[in-house]
Amino acid sequence: MKRSNILCFVLILGITLCGCQTQPAKTSTTKQQLDQMDYESDDDFELSLQSSIGKEQCFICGTPAGGLLEYYRKFDSIGIIHWADMSVTDTRIREYDDDGNEKIDSGHMSTMVNSFGEDYGSIMTHSQPDRCIAEPNIHLGEKDTIDCETLKDQLCQDCLDKVCEFYEDQVNSDNDEYLESTGYSLIDFTTGELYTLSDPYRGYSIRDYMIRYDYREQGDGEKYIDLLIFYAPIRGEEG
């Protein structure tokens, strides 16, 4: 009888333990990530998304309610967009008042830091407006890789296609180590034109602005984009 009780106890314990096995956690994968996993390494990766808004509501080329760019369009300057929170950082390569009037010989040098939250990156910008030089330093965070699907309600089709192309270029460059760089883009406040900070580029000539950048890794895998921006109009044509 005692032996029978022991066998019953063992049987019940085994059934209980089987029922308590840990179930694998379910993770959500975006369509963008699925498309990236599906593409063949011998082919170019392409991302095709459909915008849900027109140009008037576009964050870049429109005038949506509460849009930040309407304020910055008054400045002849270069900015940096952080796509995760749609924030805009002025590199302050030239200094302006709130009405868009340039301050000449202000004698100011500044260092500004914008942080974007836990697991996201930050931008530290050293600027010398009197010399028309800016040195932004972007610290890349784990969550900075752009999710283009979240931009379908923020960008018109033309702007969405351009940002998707930036992401495609980085994926097709075979440099997965810096996918986080796709979370940032340069913008010319005067023209509204966007420029990638991803591969395969390392610099631009944007009107009278010269821009150079490169990647850097230090410490325990901390990744950065170091930029140098300077304003260099043709002599005698400054205005």
Check pLDDT > 50 for residue 56. yes
> Which residues lie below 8 Å from residue 140, measured CB to CB, with a gap of 6+?
121, 178, 180, 181, 183, 223, 224, 225
- Do the domain assignments include residue 33? no
- Do the domain assignments include residue 26? no
- Do the domain assignments include residue 19? no
What mean pLDDT, rounded, does the chain reach? 84
pLDDT score at 41: 54
- Do the domain assignments include residue 211? yes
- Do the domain assignments include residue 237? no
Give the C-alpha distances (Å, rounded to integers) separating 34 from 18, 28, 38, 42, 46.
33, 10, 6, 17, 12
Range of the domain at 69: 54-231
- Do the domain assignments include residue 226? yes
- Do the domain assignments include residue 9? no
Q: How many domains does the chain have?
A: 1
- Do the domain assignments include residue 63? yes
pLDDT score at 94: 94
pLDDT score at 27: 41
